[in-house]
Amino acid sequence: MASAACVPRLPGRAGEKLAEPATVPYAPGVAAIVVQGLRKSYGAVEAVHGIDLTVREGEIFGLLGPNGAGKTTTVEILEGFRERNGGTVSVLGHDPANRDREMRARIGIVLQSAGVETYLTVSEVIDLYRGYYPHPRDRDELLALVGLADRPRVRVGSLSGGQRRRLDVAVGLCGDPDLLFLDEPTTGFDPGARRQAWEVIRGLTEKGKTVLLTTHFMDEAAVLADRLAVMNAGTIVAEGTLDEITGLGSQDTTIRFQLPEGAAPPDGFDGLKPADRGGFEFSTADPTPALHRLTGWAIDSQVELTDLTVTRPSLEDTYLALTGQAAERAERTP
């Protein structure tokens, strides 16, 4: 099920020592989530290595990381579905390990894959999950919010993949949560639907909601997140705004271009090398004079530069460098 009210508490492993419940003081208007020294081990494997994390009220916080980085374990601890081995955690002023009813009533969860009953209609699913909360959101308002206002009597099994994902989001919002956990919210969406979903998510913060977002789409994280944290091998390797994160990587601008068949590349450009899909590229800290020289050479040589692009390092570039995947990708590139 996709509702926090329906998911059973996960027990610790046999013989595993669980941390004593402890709560970091909650500061209204400042932090919705406070994590200090969080640790989680599975036998001899330590999945989370003493991380610190703060999510402010009313922001969209993006938690990024490759598979196996520890982010899923971290989020499950915050949701109250997995016990920790050490550290302190506060979610809306509660220790999630206690599974307080008040905390569960104030959070919403959109799982990456939800088991919504396919034989029920869209309206029946919404009404079912609304019934778990003391102050549920209006059903028609929810359906309009996620773009399913014209599908109330359609059975879930007849929905497209993107429509089912919209229903998952609606289920997560049934309790009108103060804090929403979003796991890969736009998987299966077409480009137009993704943009609409982003508007919905952004609109939640305008109403004072807090969102913890996990996604593998770097463009989604760049568009939505007010702040980001990148996890790798159980630790947080970077945290901050988009500009702060991308500022951790190379600040050089990359210039790429294609030449007509048989044309020789220009001389005098340090680091000039073949690029993906043919053509050439080089990086420079001073792009304006470099572009002037390149285009001047092309005019003087009567050579047409095609597919000329000028790009600064993106969030994806920095993410790959921080998680050690940039070198792996370079090795796989022919």
Q: 33-84: per-residue pLDDT in tens? A: 999 999 999 999 999 999 999 999 999 999 999 999 999 999 999 999 999 9
For residue 118, give the 3-state DSSP assignment.
coil
Can you give the pLDDT at residue 325? 57
The predicted structure's pLDDT at residue 121 = 96
Fold annotation for 33-246: Rossmann fold (3.40.50)
What's residue 276's pLDDT? 77
pLDDT of 122: 95
Residue 118's pLDDT is 87
pTM to 2 decimal places: 0.77
Is-contact 64 231, C-beta < 8 A?
yes
Positions in the chain whose pLDDT score sits under 70: 1-30, 114, 249-250, 325-334
The pLDDT score that the predictor gives to residue 30 is 66
Beta bridge partners of 180: 108, 211
Domain with CATH 3.40.50.300 in the chain: 33-246
CA distance 177 to 105: 7
Token pair listed for 233:
């091998």
Q: What is the dihedral of CA 59, 64, 68, 70, to 10 degrees?
A: -30
